[in-house]
Amino acid sequence: MNPRETLTSPRSEASAGNVAGTAARPEAETAAPVISVEDLAIAFPSLDGRETVKAVDGVSFAIAPGETFGIIGESGSGKTTIGRALAGLLPPTGGTIRYDGEDLRGMSRRDWRDRRRRYQIVFQDPNAALDPRMTILQSLIEPMKIAGGRSPEEMKAEAMRNLDRAGLRAELADRHPHELSGGQKQRVNIARVLPLNPRLIVCDEVVAALDVSIRGEILNLFAELQREFGIAYAFIAHDLAIVAQVSDRIAVTYLGRFMELGPAEAVTERPLHPYTAALLSAEPRPLPAHLRAPRRIELKGEIPSPVNPPSGCRFRTRCPHAQGLCAQQAPEWREVRPGHHVACHFAGPDGLVEHASQQSSAKTDTGGDHR
Ligand SMILES: Nc1ncnc2c1ncn2[C@@H]1O[C@H](COP(=O)(O)OP(=O)(O)OP(=O)(O)O)[C@@H](O)[C@H]1O
Ligand code: SF4
Ligand SMILES: [Mg+2]
């Protein structure tokens, strides 16, 4: 079974002309967002408590019902922090998150929990949400118990239905997590959230810890559930090829901000931001021919510290196209193609404007062919 063929991506239903902030899917253009984020900021105290780590520093977007919203970026760029905030696990230090139009701040704890339940997260580590002392059946029942409103018999019947829906045999219900494979545990994690009738699931590197041979099967399960229940996904991953395949739109994250956001096809085939172009060209695994960059763009150095990000454009210390202006002024977040936003002074509808790309061509590493 070839997962690339069987994964019926929602992207295939995407339309090119989506409106900024809504999904690429035609039916979603008018739908009210499942989640809308405005100027989100999340800061942590540094280890010594003397500085502030600006993990997320002003991002805005909205996810429509049934949309898959991909989030990519290097390690430390703030992907998980955004995901945890969407699932209500981290309070924003700035900005607003609206869940189906509602700002949950100021609600009673009980109301907040009732609302938040429908915005779930599945983690990279299949063990993260499973108690090793519980049987699989107990793990499946636990979220329903917390939610309340079902009898023990109803909970058991629902758990067994979801076990089956997630592609697991009934006999696994009496086992403990250590008796299951990573892929089976990830299926249990998915089955656990189904009774909560999720509107959005944050998928944080959900297949990264799994054997390559079963990744496609788990992605297929996510895609099937999306078609069946209209669940929206915030799909976080390092693996550009997977994000490109499953997402309707992709946001490219760098040092706590979005550099680019647009329809998946446009972002991967005609990237507007130099960072996106560099990520695409550095992809170590073979990308489909149409996504391969003609030459490698070397990203020098590490991602800077979010305690003290560079002035102006925060990508400038690693950008092969950086110019004087880039240090002085932060680029505006502009919509340069329909539904396609970018934060770069020199990005136009056809990519970088000529003088920037000409200046940079001498600095571009043409040595490594990553095909
Ligand atoms: N609880 C915390 N306390 C302090 N700093 C944190 C905390 N959580 C995250 N950070 C910092 O915030 C930044 C963003 O982290 P985050 O985990 O969101 O990145 P990421 O993009 O998910 O990275 P990865 O791809 O490695 O998972 C990093 O610099 C990280 O060290
Ligand atoms: S604004 Fe300047 S430094 Fe930033 S991405 Fe554009 S060219 Fe590079
Ligand atoms: Mg992460």
- Smallest Cα–Cα separation from 144: which of 127, 161, 128? 161
Ligand 1: does its nearest atom lie under 6 Å from the Cβ of 78? Answer: yes
Is residue 247 pLDDT above 80, yes or no? yes
Maximum average pLDDT range among 43-52, 103-112, 178-187: 178-187
Atom from ligand 2 closest to the CA of residue 320? 8
Cα(121) to centroid(ligand 3), Å? 12
Where are the alpha helices (H) located in 107-232, listed in sequence order?
Answer: 109-116, 136-147, 152-165, 182-193, 212-229
pLDDT for position 240: 87
Q: Please give the backbone phi and psi of residue 236, each rounded to the nearest 5 degrees, phi first.
A: -100, 130
What pLDDT band is residue 366 in, cutting at 50, 70 and 90?
Answer: very low
The predicted model gives 18-38 an average pLDDT of 62
How far is Cα 296 from Cα 367, in angstroms, rounded to an integer?
7
How far apart CA 284 and CA 286 sit, in angstroms, is 7
- The verdict on the CB of residue 83 being under 6 Å from ligand 1 is no
Mean pLDDT of 362-370: 35
CA–centroid distance, 208 to ligand 2, in Å, is 30
Ligand 3 centroid, distance to 169 Cα (angstroms): 31
How would residue 196 be classed by pLDDT, with cut points 50, 70 and 90?
very high
Q: Is 73 in the pocket of ligand 1 (CB under 6 A)?
A: yes
Q: How far is the centre of ligand 3, averaged over its atoms, from the C-alpha of 80 (Å)?
A: 4
- Ligand 2 binding pocket includes 319 (Cβ within 6 Å): yes
Q: Pick left, alpha or beta for residue 167 (phi over 0 → left; psi -120 to 50 → alpha; otherwise beta).
A: left
Q: What is the pLDDT of residues 66-125, one digit of tens each?
A: 999 999 999 999 999 999 999 999 999 999 999 999 998 888 888 888 889 999 999 999
pLDDT the model gives residue 12? 35
Can you give the pLDDT at residue 200? 97
For residue 313 and ligand 2, the question of a CB distance below 6 A is answered with yes
